[in-house]
């Protein structure tokens, strides 16, 4: 029989990028165990997920791999507006 909790966890993990799914799957049992308080849960997520992410620079597009390294700050905003429909 297919466990509803397993189905729920798979649906939750499907929202993450493939490179993060394994990390989330590894810590999920600890998060669901009920043995960690909120501070411990946040530390577990920070140590295993957040610190592993690549940080974007000021000139990096948040939607694609485009970077405006040698250009003015507004150029990345213009790129995101033109290419992705982003507006502030």
Among residues 56, 53, 13, 58, the alpha carbon closest in space to that of 32 is found at 13
Q: How confident is the model at residue 3 (pLDDT cuts 50, 70, 90)?
A: low
What would the pLDDT profile of 27-68 be if each residue is shown by its tens digit? 989 988 999 999 999 999 999 988 988 888 888 999 998 888
SS3 55: coil
pLDDT at 86: 94
Q: Which pTM value belongs to this model?
A: 0.56
Q: How confident is the model at residue 1 (pLDDT cuts 50, 70, 90)?
A: very low
CA distances from 64 to 61, 77, 84 (A): 6, 13, 9
What would the pLDDT profile of 36-46 be if each residue is shown by its tens digit? 999 999 999 99
Please tell me the distance from the alpha carbon of residue 19 to that of residue 32, in angstroms, as a whole number: 21
Under DSSP, the state recorded for 67 is B
């Amino acid at each position: 029989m297919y466990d509803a909790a397993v189905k729920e966890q798979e649906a939750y993990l499907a929202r993450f990028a493939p490179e993060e799914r394994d990390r989330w799957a590894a810590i999920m049992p600890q998060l669901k165990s009920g043995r960690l308080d909120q501070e411990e849960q946040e530390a577990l997520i920070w140590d295993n997920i957040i610190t592993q992410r690549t940080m974007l620079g000021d000139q990096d597009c948040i939607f694609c791999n485009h970077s405006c390294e040698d250009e003015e700050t507004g150029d990345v905003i213009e790129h995101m507006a033109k290419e992705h429909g982003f507006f502030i």
